[in-house]
């Protein structure tokens, strides 16, 4: 049977996954790469790190799975969003380090952009609800003002997965989902909005051609074959942004299907035939894998990374041979709902667009001399779920979602955390066999459609096999509903005080 390779190019590293043509997952390889923080608000990665690690991961994957390069019918990428990789006319990379999605250096450029265009008009057209300085268009404005030696040589600007596609095939292009994070994409017209480029003073010709996510853009070159171990001539699909691949892999193109991605940052997304747009609460929207569908999402910037901070700072005394996260789950399970009066706000990386202020910072509330580390560990799990519940309310106030929530990502492994989410969401929480592979499955589905092995995406729903459902407990749900009101008021106070400190 023919096989597919899906690459999940994430913030923390590259995961290369091997699938059979029927969607069965065979093997995967993960390799971490560095993120650079050269100064405040700067968050960078090296595109050549992505490429070199794609090459290493591919060779390891083929070797570990005892697969032949000729077995691979197609490859496709899921890539982290809002990246601006500048490419010269000779195909060379113009910058060794590039800003990634969370880089916020372009705040002045964002302010300058909205002197020329109305913010609400821009948001309602693009659905770009994250801070405007994070989007590609403002990153380009910053580059033009601060790195003219790079900007003036740009032939094309590429996203993260688009750069890997270029290194695989020699073709420079993007897809609607990734392009919808450039800050200049009209969601309803499904094409670039050139008046935003003009307002920003950015040449429209540097933006790449847009091709369908599930189209073949080219084949693996002889040089790429030598470096990756893939066969020369292997088809490469256009692929999609990570949010779209994850939404697709989280049960396909079905109206009202929602999932929670519980990773370093965390978001809740719903698939629908209309983008969910609100200039006050600002859900962020990406074009989906097929025209006429959208994935609309709300987020918090700190989830797994805040829980990791709790692990590193409060649980550092666990023995080296102890699985610390499992130990944290065990001690949290012994603490009653409400953590004996302790609340935790997880905003250690600041507030998202759906939260009261970008200056919001985290903290504990309600601590007394009787409280324990165990209380604080459980409170951190509850606080992350409460922060996400506040954003979920935004989505549920504007659209219908199916009365269940699929949970994906590393946190989905924790039974106690799944139950906390069910009680705080007031919804059944599903864990399926796909678990952390939703983005990879979505990319594999794009590859399968691109090369003709699939026709449509109905198979994804059948690939998901429910492993466990956590149902809300009525008594616990009532406890959390009362605590949520306290959490919301406290978060407002925290945001106001954080603004003063900032």
Name the band, by pLDDT with cuts 50, 70 and 90, for residue 321.
low
Q: What percent of the chain has pLDDT over 90?
A: 86
What is the model's pLDDT at position 187?
97
The 10s digit of each residue's pLDDT in 126-154 is 999 999 999 999 999 999 999 999 999 99
Name the band, by pLDDT with cuts 50, 70 and 90, for residue 501.
low
What is the model's pLDDT at position 306?
94
Give me the residue spans of the domains in the chain: 3-244, 251-433+472-502
Give yes or no for residue 444 having a pLDDT over 80.
yes
160 and 79 in contact (C-beta within 8 Å)? yes
- For every residue of 45-88, DSSP letters joined together read E-HHHHHHHHHHHHHHHHHHTT--GGGEEEEEEEE-SS--EEEE
Vertex 432 angle, CA 449 and 74, to 5°: 20
Give domain 251-433+472-502's CATH architecture.
2-Layer Sandwich (3.30)
As beta bridge partners, residue 156 has 87
Task: Count the Cβ atoms, other than its own, within 10 Å of residue 189.
Answer: 9
The CATH code of domain 3-244 reads: 3.30.420.40
Q: At what angle do helices 136-146 and 107-116 cross, to 10 degrees?
A: 110
Lowest-pLDDT range of 163-177, 189-203, 352-366: 352-366
Give yes or no for residue 346 having a pLDDT over 80.
yes
Q: What are phi and psi of 266, to 5 degrees?
A: -150, 145
Lowest-pLDDT range of 233-237, 258-262, 369-373: 258-262
In this chain, the answer to whether the domains covering 3-244 and 251-433+472-502 adopt an identical fold is yes
Question: Of 266 and 122, which is predicted with more confidence?
Answer: 122
Give yes or no for residue 436 having a pLDDT over 90.
no
What is the model's pLDDT at position 106?
97
Q: What is the mean pLDDT of the chain?
A: 94
Give yes or no for residue 173 having a pLDDT over 80.
yes
Name the band, by pLDDT with cuts 50, 70 and 90, for residue 498.
confident
Q: What is the pTM of this model?
A: 0.91
The 10s digit of each residue's pLDDT in 83-120 is 999 999 999 999 999 999 989 999 999 999 999 999 99
Give residues with Cβ within 8 angstroms of 187, minimum separation 6: 125, 126, 127, 180, 275, 285, 287, 294
Q: What percent of the chain has pLDDT over 70?
A: 99
Give yes or no for residue 73 having a pLDDT over 60.
yes
| Helix, strand, coil % in the chain, rounded to nearest 5 | 40, 20, 40
CB burial class (10 A; 0-12, 13-18, 19+) of residue 65?
middle
Per-residue pLDDT averaged across 208-227, rounded?
Answer: 98
What is the model's pLDDT at position 376?
98
């Amino acid at each position: 049977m023919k096989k597919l390779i899906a690459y999940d190019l994430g913030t923390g590293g590259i995961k290369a996954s091997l699938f059979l043509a029927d969607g069965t997952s065979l093997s995967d390889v993960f390799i971490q790469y560095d993120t650079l923080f050269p100064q405040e608000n700067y968050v960078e990665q090296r595109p050549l790190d992505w490429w070199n690690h794609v090459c290493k991961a591919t060779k390891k994957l083929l070797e570990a799975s005892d697969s032949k390069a000729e077995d691979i019918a197609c490859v496709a990428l899921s890539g982290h969003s809002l990246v601006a990789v500048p490419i010269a006319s000779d195909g060379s990379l113009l910058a060794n380090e590039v800003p990634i999605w969370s880089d916020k250096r372009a705040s002045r450029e964002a302010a300058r952009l909205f002197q020329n265009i109305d913010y609400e008009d821009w948001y309602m057209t693009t659905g770009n609800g994250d801070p405007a300085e994070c989007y590609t268009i403002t990153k380009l404005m910053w580059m033009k003002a601060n790195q003219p030696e790079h900007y003036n040589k740009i032939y094309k600007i590429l996203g993260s997965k688009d750069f890997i596609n270029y290194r695989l095939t020699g073709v420079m292009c993007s897809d609607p989902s990734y392009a919808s994070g450039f800050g200049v994409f009209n969601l309803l017209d499904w094409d670039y909005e050139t008046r935003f480029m003009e307002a920003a003073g950015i040449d429209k010709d540097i933006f790449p051609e847009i091709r369908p996510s599930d189209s073949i853009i080219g084949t693996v070159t002889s040089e790429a074959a030598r470096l990756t171990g893939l066969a020369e001539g292997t088809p490469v699909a256009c692929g999609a942004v990570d949010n779209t691949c994850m939404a697709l892999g989280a049960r396909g193109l079905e109206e009202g299907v929602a999932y929670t991605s519980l990773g370093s940052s965390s978001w809740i997304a719903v698939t629908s035939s209309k983008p969910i747009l609100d200039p006050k609460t600002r859900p962020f929207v990406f074009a989906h894998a097929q025209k006429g569908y959208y994935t609309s999402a709300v987020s918090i910037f700190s989830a797994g990374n805040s829980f990791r901070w709790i692990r590193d700072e409060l649980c550092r005394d666990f023995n080296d041979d102890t699985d610390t996260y499992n130990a944290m789950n065990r001690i949290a399970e012994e603490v009653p709902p409400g953590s004996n009066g302790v609340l935790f706000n997880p905003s250690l990386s600041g507030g998202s667009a759906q939260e009261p202020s970008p200056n919001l910072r985290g903290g504990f509330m309600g601590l007394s001399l009787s409280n324990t580390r165990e209380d604080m560990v459980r409170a951190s799990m509850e606080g992350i779920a409460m922060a996400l519940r506040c954003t979920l309310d935004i989505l549920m106030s504007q659209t219908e979602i199916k009365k269940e929530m699929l949970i994906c990502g590393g946190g989905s492994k924790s039974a106690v955390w799944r139950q906390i989410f069910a009680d705080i969401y007031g919804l059944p929480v599903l864990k399926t066999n796909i678990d952390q592979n939703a983005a990879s499955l979505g990319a594999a589905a794009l590859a399968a459609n691109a090369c003709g092995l699939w026709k449509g995406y109905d198979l994804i729903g059948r690939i998901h096999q429910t492993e466990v459902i956590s149902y809300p407990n009525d008594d616990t749900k009532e406890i959390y509903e009362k605590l949520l009101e306290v959490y919301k008021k406290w978060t407002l106070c925290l945001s106001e005080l954080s603004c003063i400190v900032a």
